[in-house]
Amino acid sequence: MIGKEILYDVEKFKNLKVLLERTAEKYAENIAFIIKEKNNKEIKYKNITYKEFYDDTNAIGTALLKHELKDKKIAIIGKNRYEWFISYLAVLNGVGTVVPLDKGLPDNEIESLLERCKTDCVVFEDSYIDVMNNIRNKKESTVKTFICMNKKIEGMDYLKDLLEEGKELVKEDKSYLEMPIDEKQVKVLVYTSGTTSLSKAVMLSHYNIVENINGLNSIVKVGPGDVSLAFLPLHHTFGCTGQLFFICNGVTTAFCDGLRHIQENLKEYKVSVFVCVPLLLEAMYKKINLQIEKQGKTRTIKIARAISNFLLKFGIDIRRKIFKQVINQLGGGIRLAVSGAAGIDKDVVKGFADFGIKTIQGYGLTETAPVISAQNDKHVRYGSVGFALPNVDIEIFEPNEEGIGEIIAKGPNVMKGYYENEEATKEVLINGWFHTGDLGYIDKDGYLFITGRKKNVIVLKNGKNIYPEELELLISDLPYVLENMVFGYPKDDDLIVSVKIVYNKDMLPDLSEEEIYNKIWEDVKNINSDLTNYKHIKKLIVTDEPMIKTTTQKVKRFQEIEKILQSENK
């Protein structure tokens, strides 16, 4: 296998507490976080060094111990912010078990999940004050301590006060600093996406997370001088492990102001490395191409690409010079984009590479802390998700005649199991191998390719299998498509291959709804013409309304299908 190799011989950490200590020593005066502070119309920026970040984390941890929260379950909910991250690490590195909750959950699900995992304390943002008051008023609730991150609330603790208290305590009280870490003990409970009754709490340890970071460190190089933008939600394992990966390498992190402000934030902070979801990168790429087309520079860019790619064969790289104008649209500093959570169009990866922006596609799940495989600094094959990390093994379970089967993985990053759900654990952890539920194949050189989710496969009456993700990638190439979902629409005793397309109204101006439908249907027919007959899309639904998605921008496929069926059966 040509790519499953250690590219960088770096220090390996045994737990996250040691990782934080080493980072604070090595990058003490470097900027760890940039905090934007808004006061009316005035904007100020506060820089927090690695030493300050380390001290703040230890102060919070010391204060939490003082408030008798040792070995307790502590939930955290709120948008990405500095207070969220220091609370998370403070709990993880010596207090108890941390339970990061999805900031997009409705109130009833927040209450349900806190109850299910028997949470003792919750650290929250002030936007959740109503649900916290409701929980506090319930005598049977296990939650007894409420800590607000960003506001003083009567009858509740205030994180800023705990921080100041901890800074005084830690001068004499070294109990938190000296707290031993059992690397393999469960210290994180992360709920998978799904409704309250279906979501499962994944049990992770320091060992799982830190070994994933060790694996990433051996194949991807980032470091001081790089600036990242914390866009992915920190409650999601992809976002959190990614943030820890940046921290251990001395990267500076700024916080995103929201989806609509990404381009502005990239420029504002001169972001050089960006972890995000495919949907966002694909939208950015389409926007760049639209600008090129509007300016009448399509042919010029095509020629420039051909010349720069030719020169690359001789080791001459002029991409960032000749495509400076394009890179400036993305802030001017971006050199590396890391994409995960779903498959990305290989033309987008190739397109960004042509401009001098490397895009690394990774693959993983919450249950694997999260990365299983990734492209690396040496090997990229467009369309693949790279190789298994050096400390992870991957196999294809029960492959069919095309070599496609379920992806299974074994390694130190694989979870301990699902919290209080032995039955679900036994379904996915078999003989030491984690069964992902994803389908894929490994090519002759060892590159892993994802073909779809096992449960998403459309099985026709004639026995043919259709992988929706394969068709979705083709449809996403249509310039006006914002998102799409291929699914099997039930008819009689069979399924019809169908697609729901969300289009960009700005790219189809002056057209009636009927004309828009007809244009899209013609384009879908053109896609069909290059496909085997049984893969042909025979039903089309078009809309300009966004689909139901998770906080990592994955379409909630089954909720969408249910919505379509209900709408059409009225």
- Tell me whether residue 487 is in a domain: yes
- Tell me whether residue 467 is in a domain: yes
**Interhelix angle 237-247/206-217, nearest 10 degrees:** 60
Nearest in space to 79 (alpha carbons), one of 125, 42, 120: 125
Task: Find the Cα–Cα–Cα–Cα dihedral 133, 135, 139, 145, rounded to 10°.
Answer: -80
- Domain limits for position 485: 457-568
CB 240 within 8 A of CB 5: no
Block means of pLDDT (10 residues each) for the chain, length 570 residues?
Answer: 74 95 97 92 94 98 97 97 98 97 90 93 97 91 96 95 98 96 97 66 97 95 96 92 96 94 94 90 89 91 94 94 92 91 82 93 93 90 91 94 93 96 94 93 93 84 81 91 92 90 91 94 94 91 90 80 81
**Per-residue pLDDT at 195:** 44
- Tell me whether residue 381 is in a domain: no
Counting the structural domains of the chain, the total is 1
- Tell me whether residue 179 is in a domain: no
Which sign, positive or negative, has the C-alpha torsion 545, 550, 553, 554? Answer: negative
Category of 86 on φ-ψ map: left (φ > 0), alpha (ψ -120 to 50) or beta: alpha
Task: Find the Cα–Cα–Cα–Cα dihedral 110, 115, 119, 122, rounded to 10°.
Answer: 30
**Per-residue pLDDT at 7:** 87
- Tell me whether residue 531 is in a domain: yes
d(CA 488, CA 452): 14
Which tens digits make up the pLDDT trace of 251-294?
999 999 988 899 999 999 999 999 988 888 888 998 899 889 88
> 174 CB contacts (<8 Å, ≥6 apart)?
none
CATH number at residue 543: 3.30.300.30
What is the model's pTM?
A: 0.85
The residue behind tokens 């992870």 is: 392
- Tell me whether residue 162 is in a domain: no
Nearest in space to 6 (alpha carbons), one of 504, 493, 390: 390
- Tell me whether residue 152 is in a domain: no
**Per-residue three-class SS string for 180-233:** CCCCCCEEEEEECCCCCCCCCEEEEEHHHHHHHHHHHHCCCCCCCCCEEEECCC
How many CB atoms lie under 10 A from the CB of residue 383? 17
- Tell me whether residue 499 is in a domain: yes
**Per-residue pLDDT at 194:** 52
DSSP-derived pairing of the beta strands 405-410 and 393-397: antiparallel
**Per-residue pLDDT at 38:** 85
**Per-residue pLDDT at 310:** 95
